[in-house]
Amino acid sequence: MKQKKTILAALALLVLTGCQSTGSTEAAAASPAATAVPAAESTSAAAVFALHSDSLVNGVWDDAIASVDDGEDMSPELDWPAVDGAAGYAVYMIDPDGGDWLHWLGWTSETELAAGADIGDYIGPYPPSGTHTYVVYVFALQTRPETLPGSFDAAGNAINDIRAQLDSAGTILAEASLSGTYSRK
């Protein structure tokens, strides 16, 4: 009986800890500017910073960023605070529901990107049907890599693999992510 109580208490603690690390849907809807990469997702010791987008409202990406339906195939507006020591920022958008499909692969020294900013390769969301999640990641790097890791407009771009390649020389200073959905009409 004592062992059952211990196991139940441990499970309850795990559930509560998991809820705190991912946040509630109400909290995400109230604050669409995700500021941190969940601990379970990040393997880097890098700091986190706040990432914001006016193209994301209540957890839903604006139609303008999509390459289908009413979309304009414009990269989302983004802004974040400058990170001390950063030579620039690697920007990614990945669809984890589409097999880690890479929709955006870019480099910038700016910390404010207007909608449609041309900082690399971008193709907006185009889920075959239904709703997919699209996560934007921004990595503040000490040095600019010769090439950014990832296969543009293709599946198989696990963010932990990209992060490991970017940080192979310990160059990630900080990172942020912002997640939202887009639904095919």
pLDDT tens per residue, range 79-100: 999 999 999 999 999 999 999 9
The answer to whether residues 68 and 126 belong to one domain is yes
The answer to whether residues 21 and 93 belong to one domain is no
pTM, two decimals, is: 0.78
The answer to whether residues 18 and 39 belong to one domain is no
Domain tally, the chain: 2
pLDDT of residue 70: 83
The answer to whether residues 77 and 8 belong to one domain is no
The answer to whether residues 154 and 88 belong to one domain is yes
Greater pLDDT, 7 or 53: 53
- Given a cut of 70, whether residue 29 has pLDDT beyond it is no
The answer to whether residues 67 and 36 belong to one domain is yes
Name the amino acid, one letter, at 80. W
The domain of 12 spans 1-28
DSSP character string of 64-127 = GG-SSTT----PPPEE----TT-SEEEEEEEEGGGTSEEEEEEEES-SEE-TT--SEEE-----
CATH classification of the domain holding 155 = 3.90.280.10
Reported residue count of the chain is 185
**Which residues on adjacent β-strands are paired with residue 93?**
104, 136
Separation CA 62–CA 93 (nearest Å): 14
